[in-house]
Amino acid sequence: MKNKKIRCPICKKETARQGNPWRPFCSERCKTIDLASWASGEYRISGEKKKEDEESPSEDQQVDRSGDGEK
C-alpha cells in the first residue's frame, strides 16, 4: 500500500500519514504548538453560555457543612 501524505495543520508541511507518531502533525513541535493554543484559549468551541443560575447554586441552595447550623 502506498504511503499517503497529509499536510500538518500547523506548519502546512507535507508529511507521511502512516508510521507518523505525531499524526496529524509533522512533528512533536507542531503538536506542542497546537496543544498550547488550546491551553491558552486561542482555540474555542462555540456554543451557548450557561446562565448565571446554572453555574453556581444560589445562597439558599448552598449546603451548610460547618455543623453549627449557620450559613
Tens digit of pLDDT per residue, the chain (71 long)?
567 899 999 999 999 989 999 999 999 999 999 999 999 988 888 888 777 655 555 555 555 566 665 55
- Domains, the chain, ranges and CATH? 1-41 (3.30.50.10)
**pTM of the shown model:** 0.57
Q: What sign results for the dihedral spanned by CA atoms 15, 17, 23, 24?
A: positive
Q: Which of 57, 33, 40, 66 is CA-nearest to residue 24?
A: 33
